[in-house]
Amino acid sequence: MELTTVWFVLIAVLWTGYFVLEGFDFGVGILLPFLGRAEAERRTIVKTIGPVWDGNEVWLLVAGGATFAAFPEWYATLFSGFYLPLFLILLALIARGVALEYRSKSDSTRGWDRTFFWGSLGPAFLWGVAFANIVRGVPLDTNHEYTGTLLTLLNPFALFGGLATLLLCTLHGAIFLALRTTGELRLGASRMAKSLAPVTILVVMAFLLAAGGGGRPVWWAAVALVALGLIGALAATMRGRDGWAFTASALAVVAVVAALFTGLWPNVLPALDPANSLTVTNAASTPYTLTVMTWVAAVFTPVVLAYQAWTYWVFRRRLTGPSDVPVGPPDVGPSSLMPVDGR
């Protein structure tokens, strides 16, 4: 296998990790005002992602860095042509991080909670808009420079892609909350997941079929996995099997990213005029650069994966909501959060 192909696959894997992990982060933020009726409940919801949200964003940084090093032409065209949408995503992620860090240090959390909500909803929608445009193709000239405008990117297909990723992240977050909480919070998250699942299945499948994959068998296999994952997540949620529901939801997210990248290959950024498209060949770095990067990735990727797996194992327990804690001595009040073993 050529190194250009290896790095295309590795970048797809990095984006997969980002959307699986940051996807439920976004979903938690989007659901915060709907499931958190009281401050103590909202605090419990935020605590479900408190130890891991910043580590999840590392996948985005590594994906961007790998794209810059392995396919500099792709990186240059993408970040110049999509400058404003990506800048808005960056601002939303910064605001979201600030809200998570400062909500516990403020007397009033309402403003921070609104920031967390919009900082989660914005990227969940805009990433879908960006990837829909990447798959559909954008106007590029013979120098591989983007010649469209912001309105070019806000076409109906791209907005539909944004709706698909928004629903997918929200469903993923609801299932994650059901897995990580108990009592009324868990029941509320399960009800939300049951309500979201049917419309998510319809919208995501319609988006993937509209995007197309050139009729490749591997693309059809990925689309089939998306359907099986989403249907399996709904079935497991209805039976109260939170662990299996989250596994199925994560599988669906993995399959969505796989379908998008499979449909993209061998292009990395198609042009409306196919002659101007960026491919894994004309957008790649030199073979020496790719070789050095491959050795670095082979050494450090397992270390990073092991560390993140250990982090999730340490914080694997469920969190009890305030309504689940019985009245007792002063040190066990209704706002306390006690970890209990999850199923």
Domain assignment present for residue 282? The answer is yes
At residue 177, the pLDDT reads 94
337 within some domain: no
Q: How crowded is residue 73: how many other Cβ atoms within 10 Å of its Cβ?
A: 16
Flag whether 342 is in a domain: no
Query: What SS3 state is found at 318?
Result: strand
pTM: 0.86
Give the CA distances from residue 306 to residues 58, 77, 238, 300, 309, in Å, rounded to whole numbers and listed in that order: 14, 34, 32, 10, 5
Q: CATH number for the domain including 90?
A: 1.20.1630.10
Sequence-ordered list of residues with C-beta below 8 angstroms from that of 14, at least 6 positions apart, any chain: 59, 62, 63, 66
Low-confidence ranges of the chain (pLDDT < 70): 1, 319-343
Residue 18 maps to a domain: yes
Whether 328 is in a domain gets the answer no
CB count within 10 Å of CB 39 equals: 15
Distance between CA 61 and CA 8 in Å, rounded? 16
Query: Does any domain span residue 326?
Result: no
Please give the tally of structural domains in the chain. Answer: 1
d(CA 271, CA 117): 34
Locus of tokens 């977050």: 173
Q: Tens digits of per-residue pLDDT, 85-123?
A: 899 999 999 999 899 888 877 777 888 999 999 999 999
43 inside domain: yes
Taking CA 165 as the corner, what is the angle to CA 52 and CA 70, rounded to the nearest 5 degrees?
Answer: 70
Cα distances (Å, whole numbers) of residue 323 to 292, 327, 336: 55, 10, 10
For residue 115, what are the domain limits?
3-316
Length of the chain, in residues: 343
- Sign of the alpha-carbon dihedral angle for 338, 335, 169, 97: negative
How many CB atoms within 10 Å of residue 206? Answer: 13
**Which amino acid is present at 229?**
G
| Residue 324 falls inside a structural domain | no
